[in-house]
Structure 1
Amino acid sequence: MNLHRMLQQRAARGAPIRVGLIGAGKFGSMYLSQIRRTPGMHLVGVADLSPPRAKASLRRVGWPAAALGARSLADAAKKGTTHVHDDTFAMIASPHVDVVIDATGHPAAGIAHVLACCEHGKHIVMVNVEADALAGPLLARKAREAGIVYSLAYGDQPALICEMVDWARTAGFEVVAAGKGTKYLPEYHASTPATVWPHYGISPEDAKAGGMNPQMFNSFLDGTKSAIEMAAVANATGLAPAPQGLEFPPCGVDDLAQVLRPASDGGRLHHRGQVEVISSVERDGRPVFRDLRWGVYVTFAGDSDYVRRCFREYGLVTDKSGNYTAMYKPYHLIGLELGISVASVGLRNEPTGAPEMWHGDVVATAKRDLKAGETLDGEGGFTVYGKLMPAADSLAVGGLPLGLAHGVTLERAVKAGQPVRWTDVAFDANAPAVKFRREMERVFAKGKRRAK
């Protein structure tokens, strides 16, 4: 890799990549701790709903107060300091910003931010994988048409998985499966913010004292976040979800090649070329040996006697046939690694993963029997979880995307475990995020019909 050398050259020329960050939460704060250590990058602005909170985040990760006193983005660009403010769209429009990072996690806001970047010619790094799962394929198409780069965020697992898939394919291997690890049991799909902490082994009192958001943490536990992230991977790589969605088979790193191969060859996959998430616990709750809870993986095939021999000669762990093997990365560093995306976009005009097609969708699915008149509370809440589905199946059932399943009222009852449909809820057809998502459904449904 040459990114650091290229950044040093930019620093020497006095022409750093000028960055604007939207959202100074946990992910954003982790990136803030690193950008000040990286040559050739200048954090011109931070836009947050609460500028005082954002300044507190900057100081907490080591920024001196003197660096945060810029009165405007122009002042920050001139003096090499940072302007902290609450006007996101002014920052996107500013001539002093080259790359925008959306670290909000808010789907509707993410759509608006990308479209503004298209209007003003700003590259965008989408930490906001929730927006990507809702409408990423059309957002990325709009970005390409506008001549800007739309990129998944390195450090988040989807971009790391995309990198591994690209490595395997570039080396001439067929990718059989790709995904990540998590802690999963089937009963977690019914978990709510009121029941989440015992599953993590944390007392509610300790969680409250630590400022931990139960709905956010629950979105990781109930399977929603895994579905969102695997939809992003499917849409960026062309790997397809299984018809039944994610199975979450228990699997350790030594068994990746054995488990993550097609069922026709003795594994757990529906087909070659699949996204799948593996569990760090057995179905009876016992820990999986050498689990991959924090990591990512790819399995790939040899498919020739010569390559299978090479697998043996170089000590790769394979399945019993010797044809399937795996590579994995045991950890991901979240916002601490985000600078890789910023550098790739700012120096090479290359994304670290981006949607190319619409293969996977995340559909709101009832956690319990829901009654007409109830209001859905979205990701990680009390009413629905996100289930990964092939996009064609989501279109066929008229599934309500998880990213729009917040604050809408049910007009009819939905049984536990069943998808919520557009026709089940009262929604505002003129809301910008709804209109954009419906446009994506029309655009890509036509493409699927043409492909047939």
Structure 2
Amino acid sequence: MSLYEQLQARQEQARPIRIGMIGAGKFGTMFLAQAIRIPGIHLVGVVDLSPSAALSNMELVGWSAEQICKTSLADAAKSGRTHVGDDWEALVSHPEIEIIIECTGNPDAAVRHCLKAFEAGKDVINVTVEADAFCGVGLARRAEAAGVLYSMAYGDQPALACELVDWARTCGFGVVAAGRGHKWLPHYRQSTPDTVWDHWGLTREQAERGRLNAKMFNAFLDGSKPAIESAAIANSTGLDAPENGLLFPPGGIDDVPNLMRPRSEGGVLERKGLVEVASCLTTDGKQIPHDIRKGVWVCFEGDTEYLRNCFEEYKVVTDTTGRYMCNYKRWHLIGLELGYSVASLALRREPTGVSKDFRADVAALAKRDLLPGEKLDGEGGFTVSGLLVPAEKSVREGLLPLGLAHEIKLIRPVKAGTAVRWEDVEVPKTGDAYLLRKEIERLGAASANSPETGNVERAFEKEHG
């Protein structure tokens, strides 16, 4: 039975999937636009730091006053309406809610929300991939220990890429590389919220019409989001990060098989089994036709003569040797597709992507010379961007994860273009996100040195039962 048919059945049985959502920004608002159209779900509550802004966004996408419950979550659960407030702890602990959607975009808050939801026996869909990038395996292990499910958000590129990797492997193909597209030129690394729209391809008026957050969109442009999402893909699929960061090779969809093969065979990869990002711009800034900027891809291998003959017979596009080809999803629709995660988690008990190991990390890279006393402002801001690195290298060199580079003070100078290290900053050592990350680093170091544990996932199982 299809997910949609199962949703319809839940609607007919008056047994909707009951959801709570934390954060009603752009991603959350896109889901709100679809939630009123999907049968078999009930959004019991929405919480946001600004309930009035959440209500405004709901009105923007078609919610009526009759669909809002102004009294309480309990009344909303009974009436089928939706309560809007600012108390996330009440939402997480409400007994009628089955799934929490974490949609704040704040990695420190997201970790705290996820852990509390697990303790309350709730499944979680984590839209805040920034948190997943630096401690996703820890969140997945905590969810498993609590007997609940933890999932990436369908509609975001990591979940879609994971789906393609799973498709290829399930069909019997060896995966050579996987990733997403992007609009990239090297000088975008220094972009700030003040310059983002000049490069993005929108006017300031269009950005204001869409209520777009300049800092969030700049995180895409300056390389932070591609690094974050590539780390999430790697940690979920068992692929690795390139040793020296993403290369952003320029190419369209049909160029992927030639690009995403080992250098020894004419491609850009240092070896098979990596994540990478394809740029939609040539090195001189010209648009490449039939690009994959807004989508995801998987490059796989026809490693026998028979498979390569099949590629040829069915006229698929391969690399020049006929050995490598790709499959792709050209577009991702962000929050408009999130309902698929809700249905998959509740009805199939299957996450749409989940971190299984700590293979890749995103380090904070200085955009300019930084001085002691300055505060870092996280991804998309004025001070740092994200650099994808192998997790082992990140831990060994003491690199500060981008997800924790928010509102923390520098105590040492950091030169432009170099990574910020733990020793360069003053970090509060009590937060949930910090403690979980340090637990992952400790277990990762132990697993790297112990054949008994083998990886971080098994180390968690050993420590947490």
Partner of 1:313: 313
* Residue 128 of structure 2 corresponds to residue 128 of structure 1: yes
TM-score (norm 1): 0.97
The two structures have a TM-score, normalised by structure 2, of 0.94
Where does residue 241 of structure 1 map in the other structure? 241
Post-superposition CA distance 1:263-295 (Å, at most 9, x none)? 111111111111001101011111112111111
Q: Which stretch has the larger CA shift, 169-178 or 362-371? A: 362-371
Partner of 1:91: 91
Measured in 2, the distance between the counterparts of 1:406 and 1:6 equals: 42
Aligned equivalents of 1:153, 1:374: Cα separation in 2: 34
Q: How big is the shift at 1:213?
A: 2.8
- The alpha-carbon distance between structure 1 residues 206 and 294, as it changes in their structure 2 partners (threshold 3 A), is closer
User: 1:32–1:61: 8 Å Cα contact kept in structure 2?
Assistant: yes
Give the structure 2 partner of residue 362 of structure 1. Answer: 362
Write the deviation string for residues 406-449 of structure 1: whole angstroms up to 9, x where unpaired. 22222111122111000011111123322221122112221122
Q: Which runs of 4+ in 1 moved over 3 A?
A: 201-212
Number of the residue aligned with 2:449: 449
Name 1:349's counterpart in structure 2: 349
Distance 1:5 1:206 in 2: 37
Within 5 A, what are the aligned runs for 1:368-387? 368-387=368-387
- Matched length: 452
Give distance in 1, aligned partners of 2:212 and 2:354: 30
Counterpart position of 2:323 = 323
* 1:205 shift after superposition: 6.5
Deviates more, 1:23-32 or 1:430-439: 430-439
Structure 1: distance between partners of 2:160 and 2:77: 31
- Structure 1 residues not aligned, in runs of 5+: none
CA distance in 1, matches of 2:210, 2:301: 45
Q: Which secondary structure state, in structure 1, belongs to the residue aligned with residue 450 of structure 2?
A: helix
With over 3 angstroms needed to count, the CA separation of the structure-2 counterparts of 1:387 and 1:298, relative to structure 1, is same
Indicate the SS of the match to 1:373. coil
| Residue identity in the other structure for 1:409 | K
| Corresponding residue of 1:38 | 38
AA in 2 matched with 1:374: E
Cross-structure match for 2:275? 275
Q: Distance in 2 between matches of 1:35 and 1:401?
A: 34
Contact 1:70 1:81 in 2 (8 A): no
- The letter of the residue matching 1:173 is F
Per-residue displacement from partner, 1:107-134 (whole Å, max 9, x unpaired)? 0111111111111110000111011112
Secondary structure, counterpart of 1:114 in structure 2: helix
Q: Which amino acid counterpart does residue 292 of structure 2 have in structure 1?
A: L
Give the 5 Å matches for 1:7-18.
Answer: 7-18=7-18
- Aligned-pair CA distance for 1:43: 0.8
The Cα of 1:257 is off from its aligned counterpart by 0.5
| Superposed counterparts of 1:115-194, under 5 Å | 115-194=115-194
Matched AA of 1:436: L
Preserved CA contact (<8 Å) 2:26 2:212: no
Counterpart AA for 1:281: L
Q: Helix, strand or coil: the match of 2:148?
A: coil
Contact kept in structure 1, 2:26 and 2:211, CA below 8 Å:
no
Match status 1:251 vs 2:219: no
Residues 213-262 of structure 1, C-alpha deviations (whole Å, 9 max, x = no match): 32222111100010010111000001101101110000101111011111
8 Å CA contact 2:176–2:273 kept in 1: the answer is: yes
CA shift for structure 1 position 19:
0.7
Preserved CA contact (<8 Å) 1:225 1:386? yes
Please give the secondary structure, in 1, of the residue aligned with 2:449: helix
What CA distance in whole angstroms lies between the structure 2 residues aligned with 1:211 and 1:48?
16
Per-residue CA distance 1:373-411 (angstroms, 9 max, x = gap)? 222111111111110000000011100010111222221
Matched, 1:64 2:64: yes
Distance 1:387 1:38, change over 3 A: same
Deviates more, 1:197-206 or 1:182-191: 197-206
Residue aligned with 1:267, SS: coil
Which stretch of the first structure deviates more once superposed, 216-225 or 161-170?
A: 216-225
**Of 438-447 and 384-393, the range deviating more from structure 2:** 438-447
**Unaligned 5+ residue runs, structure 2?**
455-465
Does the CA contact (< 8 Å) of 2:22 and 2:101 recur in 1?
yes
Q: Matched residues in 2 for 1:90 and 1:347: separation?
A: 25
Question: Take 1:371 and 1:21, find their aligned partners in 2: how far apart are those partners?
Answer: 38
1:422 aligns with 2:417: no
Structure 1 residue 193, shift from structure 2 partner: 2.0
Q: Which stretch of the first structure deviates more once superposed, 51-60 or 258-267?
A: 51-60
